[in-house]
């Protein structure tokens, strides 16, 4: 591919070309070098807490003057605890085994030849994110670990924070000797739109939007390169007749403890029509004591006038706050049909003591992940297992479910012959 003179182009094109050039070299680096680079990013970030928090304060002050929604302010506000969690994720990424060039048996074999597949980098990944300055650092760690260049495009509300974090990480990568351009940031003051970046399909191999549904849908409409949809909120729970009230309560509360973004938070609960009214009242009062707002469908509001009515459009949209809507259904089959129509499709659950119901739910619900008597609470850095996660995806296609290191790779098929023909 011929690369034009960089200085003659707008910032998104310059960044895309630099990232592309860097990706050609980054894909050939050793796993040990990429791991060393991610660990260097963690150390550099840890040394820069004061500068990053100072930049974040500027963003918070400006956002309050611009009347930015409260939920965005929560996502935007960095704390030492959030930054420490980011450092821990980068450290763990650096310690994980290299995901690239793992050999797998190919799906097909040819006569007189050997066939196998290897995981390879995608190339250049664009990460479009709303608030969440720390998530830019985590996404960069994922990309460097998998041999991909990354272009960060954050929201204007986090411009100072994003620039401070990107500068720290870029300097760390330069000291390690990784190619210039493997981490690019498009600053908000350049006035470049999201469209300016996500239409650079000559250079970008994947775009990941992260934020509210409106941002994700905008990227899906405008991008000319592949998009990995992320999903957040609007997760459903079916409360079976034979399930315990305490289990339902625990699952709801625990799912909302993912901070700062409620990725897998239960926001809608489907209840069997024969459920005891006394159990509903106990659950609602308990949730209200924890600061939740409770809504219901028309039938529930008629029976319990103290409930707020959940409008039709709310059943398919995320609240992303401590709000839960309840709805009556006639059966498990009806619950499955409703979830398949209105859920975000990335994490839905059931509370039941029936094995048959659990199997029917798991097979019938068209979601990336289903939870049976288990909290869907999302953790980027789970205490068990050997994986870390960037987020969740609800799409069928490139990848689905947890966005892990392997999600940011592709497969190369290699056929080795012996010269016979």
Residue 303, domain CATH: 3.40.309.10
Q: Which of 64-68, 80-84, 204-208, 242-246 has the lowest mean pLDDT?
A: 64-68
Check whether residue 270 and residue 356 sit in a common domain. yes
Q: Tell me how crowded residue 420 is: count the other CB atoms within 10 A of its CB.
A: 7
Q: Tell me how crowded residue 35 is: count the other CB atoms within 10 A of its CB.
A: 18
DSSP-derived 3-state class of residue 278: helix
pLDDT for 3: 35
Check whether residue 59 and residue 143 sit in a common domain. yes
Report yes or no on 93 lying in a domain: yes
pLDDT at 391 over 80: yes
pLDDT for 345: 93
Report yes or no on 249 lying in a domain: yes
Check whether residue 336 and residue 401 sit in a common domain. no
Mean pLDDT along residues 273-282: 89
Check whether residue 112 and residue 78 sit in a common domain. yes
Report yes or no on 317 lying in a domain: yes
If one counts the domains in the chain, the total is 2
Which segments of 212-343 does DSSP mark as H helices, in order?
A: 213-222, 245-255, 277-289, 298-303, 332-342
Check whether residue 181 and residue 240 sit in a common domain. no
Quick one: three-class SS letters along 112-150?
CEEEEEEEEECCEEEEEECCCHHHHHHHHHHHHHCCCEE
Cα gap 402→50, rounded to integer Å: 32
Any residues with CB less than 8 A from the CB of 297 and at least 6 apart, and which?
Answer: 309, 310, 325, 326, 327, 328
Residue-range definition of the domain harbouring residue 315: 235-372
Check whether residue 38 and residue 168 sit in a common domain. yes
The CATH number that applies at residue 165 is: 3.40.605.10
Q: For the chain, give the mean pLDDT.
A: 91
Confidence of residue 5 (pLDDT cuts 50, 70, 90): very low
Report yes or no on 383 lying in a domain: no
Q: Which residue has the tokens 């689905």?
A: 400
Is the pLDDT higher at 65 or at 250? 250
Check whether residue 243 and residue 367 sit in a common domain. yes
pLDDT for 108: 64
Q: Which of 92, 142, 147, 104 is nearest to 122 (CA)?
A: 147
* Sheet hosting strand 113-121, strand order edge to edge: 103-105, 113-121, 409-417
Check whether residue 173 and residue 208 sit in a common domain. yes
Report yes or no on 381 lying in a domain: no
Percent of the chain at pLDDT > 70 equals: 95
pLDDT for 82: 96
Report yes or no on 382 lying in a domain: no
Check whether residue 130 and residue 256 sit in a common domain. no
Beta-sheet pairing, 113-121 with 409-417: antiparallel
The CA-atom distances, in angstroms, between 418 and each of 117, 414, 415 are 18, 13, 10
Report yes or no on 380 lying in a domain: no
Report yes or no on 119 lying in a domain: yes
Check whether residue 413 and residue 281 sit in a common domain. no
pLDDT tens digits for 292-333? Answer: 999 999 999 999 999 999 999 999 999 999 999 999 999 999
Check whether residue 156 and residue 293 sit in a common domain. no
Beta-sheet pairing, 183-185 with 149-154: parallel
Check whether residue 102 and residue 243 sit in a common domain. no
Q: Which of 86-95, 96-105, 277-286 has the lowest mean pLDDT?
A: 96-105
pLDDT for 4: 38
- DSSP string covering 252-276: HHHHTTSSSS-TT-EEEEEEETT--
Cα gap 104→280, rounded to integer Å: 51
């Amino acid at each position: 591919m011929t690369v034009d003179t960089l200085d003659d182009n707008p910032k998104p094109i310059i960044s895309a070309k630099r990232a592309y050039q860097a990706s050609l070299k980054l894909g050939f680096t050793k796993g040990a070098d990429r791991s060393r680079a991610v660990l260097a990013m963690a150390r550099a970030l840890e040394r820069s807490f004061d500068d990053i928090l100072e930049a974040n304060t500027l963003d918070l002050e400006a956002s309050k003057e611009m009347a930015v929604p409260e939920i965005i302010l929560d996502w935007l506000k960095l704390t030492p605890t959030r930054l420490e969690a980011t450092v821990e994720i980068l450290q763990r990424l650096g310690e994980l085994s290299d995901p690239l060039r793992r050999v797998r048996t190919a799906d097909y074999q040819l006569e007189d030849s050997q066939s196998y597949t290897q995981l390879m980098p995608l190339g250049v990944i664009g990460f479009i994110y709303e608030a969440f300055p720390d998530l830019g650092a985590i996404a960069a760690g994922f990309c460097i670990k998998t041999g991909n260049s990354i272009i960060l495009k954050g929201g204007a509300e986090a411009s100072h924070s994003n620039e401070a974090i990107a500068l720290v990480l870029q300097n760390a990568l330069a000291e390690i000797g990784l190619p210039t351009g493997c981490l690019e940031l498009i600053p908000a003051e350049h006035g470049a739109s999201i469209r300016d970046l996500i239409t650079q399909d000559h250079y970008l191999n994947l775009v990941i939007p992260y934020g509210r549904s409106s941002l994700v849908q905008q990227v899906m409409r405008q991008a000319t390169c592949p998009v990995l949809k992320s999903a957040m909120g609007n997760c459903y729970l079916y409360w079976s007749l034979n399930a315990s009230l305490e289990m339902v309560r625990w699952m709801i509360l625990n799912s909302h403890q993912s901070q700062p973004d409620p990725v897998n938070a239960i926001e809608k609960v489907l209840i069997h029509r024969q459920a005891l009214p006394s159990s509903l009242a106990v659950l609602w009062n308990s949730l209200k004591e924890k600061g939740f707002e409770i809504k219901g469908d028309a039938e529930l509001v008629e029976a319990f006038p103290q409930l707020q009515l959940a409008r039709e459009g709310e059943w398919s949209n995320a609240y992303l706050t401590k709000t839960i809507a309840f709805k009556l259904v006639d059966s498990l089959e009806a619950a499955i049909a409703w979830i398949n129509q209105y859920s975000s499709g990335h994490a839905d659950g059931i509370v039941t003591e029936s094995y048959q119901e659990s199997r029917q739910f798991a097979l019938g619900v068209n979601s990336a992940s289903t939870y049976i008597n288990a909290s869907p609470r999302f953790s980027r850095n789970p205490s068990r297992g050997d994986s870390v996660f960037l987020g969740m995806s609800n799409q069928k296609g490139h990848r689905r479910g947890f966005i892990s290191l392997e999600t940011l790779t592709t497969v190369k098929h290699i056929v080795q012959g012996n010269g016979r023909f």
